[in-house]
């Protein structure tokens, strides 16, 4: 396989590769998390946590690289919220019962959903689905609300996140569309 299939002439990873890789790592993160929660008869300690978190951190970095040209400030803020949530999650920091990691993940999802909705390289519904997930995760700000709607909030949040990730994995983005959009934005 030629390296120009993965890397563009400017030395950066092609948008198509970034998009499909983000979708693939999201799928790996979900499979690893589900296996950890429901299928693994034995707890493996740090490994239980490390695999899904490493995969999701990779998704965040790939989406950052893909969407950075739309808004550098917003992608940096989203990445910061997302990575902070991943760092806080194993600490189980729940002041007053509020899941801080989920709230941070909600801020990440809301911002990434906005960026995905703003881009013309994926359908509007994919970004809207991610924003919906973000709003669901922000529901963890209200402990009574989060408890009252559990497990439906988790289901809606996971579906909302999965829609754009499956789109990116299966459909990807076309480099010509990305280049056209970046030309319009400059």
Domain range annotation of the chain: 3-185
Residue 7 φ then ψ, to 5°? -115, 130
Q: Are 22 and 171 in contact (CB under 8 A)?
A: no
Select from 123, 170, 133 the least CA-distant residue to 22: 170
Model confidence pLDDT, tens digit, residues 135-156: 999 999 999 999 999 989 989 9
Report the distance separating Cα 124 and Cα 113, nearest Å.
9
Report the distance separating Cα 55 and Cα 6, nearest Å.
20
Q: Which two tokens stand for residue 27?
A: 């799928």
Average pLDDT in the chain: 85
For helices 152-170 and 124-138, the axis angle rounded to 10 degrees is: 150
Report the distance separating Cα 40 and Cα 27, nearest Å.
18
First to last CA, the chain: 33
**Residue of higher predicted confidence among 69 and 46:** 69
Report the distance separating Cα 64 and Cα 60, nearest Å.
6
Above 50 in pLDDT, residue 184? no
Residue 9's pLDDT band (boundaries 50, 70, 90)?
Answer: very low
- Give the per-residue pLDDT at 12: 73
Give the pTM: 0.85
């Amino acid at each position: 396989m030629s390296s120009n299939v993965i890397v563009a002439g400017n030395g950066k990873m092609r948008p198509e590769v970034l998009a499909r890789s983000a979708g693939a790592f999201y799928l790996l993160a979900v499979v690893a998390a589900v296996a950890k929660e429901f299928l693994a008869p034995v707890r493996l300690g740090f490994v239980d946590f490390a695999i899904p978190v490493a995969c999701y951190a990779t998704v965040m970095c790939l989406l950052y690289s893909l969407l950075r040209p739309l808004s550098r400030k917003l992608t940096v803020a989203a990445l910061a919220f997302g990575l902070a949530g991943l760092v806080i999650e194993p600490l189980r920091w729940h002041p007053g019962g509020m899941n801080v990691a989920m709230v941070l993940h909600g801020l990440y999802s809301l911002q990434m959903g906005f960026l995905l909705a703003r881009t013309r390289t994926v359908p509007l519904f994919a970004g809207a689905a991610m924003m919906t997930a973000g709003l669901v995760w922000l529901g963890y700000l209200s402990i009574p609300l989060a408890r009252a709607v559990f497990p439906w909030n988790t289901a809606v949040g996971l579906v909302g996140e999965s829609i754009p990730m499956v789109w990116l994995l299966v459909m990807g983005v076309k480099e010509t569309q990305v280049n056209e959009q970046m030309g319009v934005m400059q």
